[in-house]
Chain A
């Protein structure tokens, strides 16, 4: 099925550990995004990649790094996890240039707990 595949679905980390969240899309979209969702705050943009080879900071980039490996894949790395990074993370892709644009395609989310 076409869409955005995000792994893992759940993860528990200890403070100071590192991990990478993987995201891949087969929609042939140019743009990809990482958001975090916290109660009462909606979804906030961490990093984005407007096109292959480019990445930029979003609203809440501190403590994160990203890699746009190719057009399909966009990973999010936590170098030294902190309890404040406990959240649900969503990857998404989009391409306004495609016909019948209907908005973002989201992955199923990763629930990350940092203890």
Chain B
């Protein structure tokens, strides 16, 4: 079974700084998807970024980018020029596209951006 580990329960940075959230996963599959979700206090689950394992190029979405290291099974999220609105829980998730396409989540990292 796949597992996802986020080793940083909480992080805190100043506004405008860059912050990196860590995620590692365990799988024997060669093709899969990885995601980062943001959960603000509103509780809504918001997709931040996704990565397909067969694509070597790291995904980027505006201020958000990932460092995908397939051999190391690592999938970190970098937030540049952090903003107060980035304060949220962040979840890393893994999906095997075969079968039921179940998402397996990490434990989450609570990120606080300070003014």
Contact = CB atoms under 8 A, between A and B. Distances in A.
Interface in A44-72: 44-45, 48, 50, 56, 58
Interface residues of B, number: 23
Interface majority SS (helix, strand, loop, mixed), chain A = strand
Determine chain B's interface SS by DSSP, over half rule: loop
B11 interface: no
Contacts of A94: 101, 103
Contacts, number: 57
Contacts of B33: 103
B107 A108 contact: no
A43 B102 contact: no
Interface of A: 31, 33, 35, 40-45, 48, 50, 56, 58, 88, 90, 92, 94, 96, 102-104, 106, 108-109, 111
